[in-house]
Structure 1
């Protein structure tokens, strides 16, 4: 039976040294969809109700503590705001109180407490015709540069990355732009999603099954959107379905994934499933090398 008890979510990577041979692209990683839109953030009074916008229960730090290792970030640009407050989290254009500053603070505090966990910041959208890529680039390097893993090390295993640096634990991914330092930012992470803003669980299951018949390769990170949304309720808690679909005792779906991007990450066993299949991947890796 899958081990879902004998580990802590906050340091599950460090507590599983057998996976050190795997790279970020080879691992199966738990991710949080729309990580910057959570129930504890503040939202404008005049706008859609919170339950239509919040995809997570709590802050970036809480998501990392609960085991998420890929944060799906969508930022809008506010030129009149101060400092890193110019970059504000949003869901479908509806902004909230989370900013690039709160993201960097939460990541730094988490890594001080858990120095051998690895995080991917998936800047899935940087929005606004006047988005200041130059300032964004400078602030990322100035405030988080000591944590950022150079893009040239993307294919290195976790053990190699630990050997290279005691502090570099973060990959930052964003769509290519001439003002973003490509020595720092890795390529845009493609999201496999249903293509519909309104997706029920049956439709989602069929979609995931089709994607995983021929999943993207392990040469670069990719993300599977395993989320549902309804017009009345907004983001839906589908933890029962996720637990059924991705349990490695029931299917090979988790083995075929890189990032499993979910809402309300605390509700399902997705972190434990990822940990379990990563141990299997690491065990199989030497065999794969012999056969190559």
Structure 2
């Protein structure tokens, strides 16, 4: 089942117009939610970010937040008690091709769920990454459909035998990865780029920040350069599907000891415990 303009329908009932501005211009936004045994994880935080992205690109919906939240619950229920992901996007709608916003246009909604197991092996053993220049636009805090730069960087990483690319601006500022936030650990302190227009405010990163506070792990939002990255004791990424995954090598060189570090491990344990609480309570709200 798909969520199509507010209704659950069969896949064959969905028809996307060639005049959809999402197709022409990437004129839309999206959000990805994690489901653990059928429970939407951090739903309200994801909705906050979704509505922020809508405001940023000036798309208005005919559904209010409560209605949308109920639709997401209905869509998630179609997956049953499985681990999975829920994807939803909104485009500005159908209109004659022109750069300027149409005077009359109705937003188009599309959402779906699919099973998705936790990538336990990657979370446990870590991944390799490469560094690339961050050539994206300057409004990365918007979760827009414009992902070509991210896609090209991700492909380059895969072709180099890595799982992710760490993006670095021309002024030597390390920002994030192609599809995840980036955090480093030095002398027991976590460092990550502060929220702003250069990165996406990751929901999993928000969770990690809370968990770090509960574990008394110092957490500093501060920009850093490539030298600090390669000198880090630990490096890990966070995103909705990868949770907190260690990066054990960058550009072919080991990070620290070349194995997942102690701080990352503590956060992973705390994260799993949090997920177990959500599953036990059958709650989609923030713990």
**Same fold, TM-score > 0.5, yes or no:** no
Relative contact order, higher structure (CA 8 A, sep 6+): 1
* TM-score between both structures, scaled by the size of structure 1: 0.24
Higher strand proportion (structure 1 or 2) = 2
Q: Look at both structures and tell me which one has the larger radius of gyration over its CA atoms.
A: 2
* TM-score between both structures, scaled by the size of structure 2: 0.24
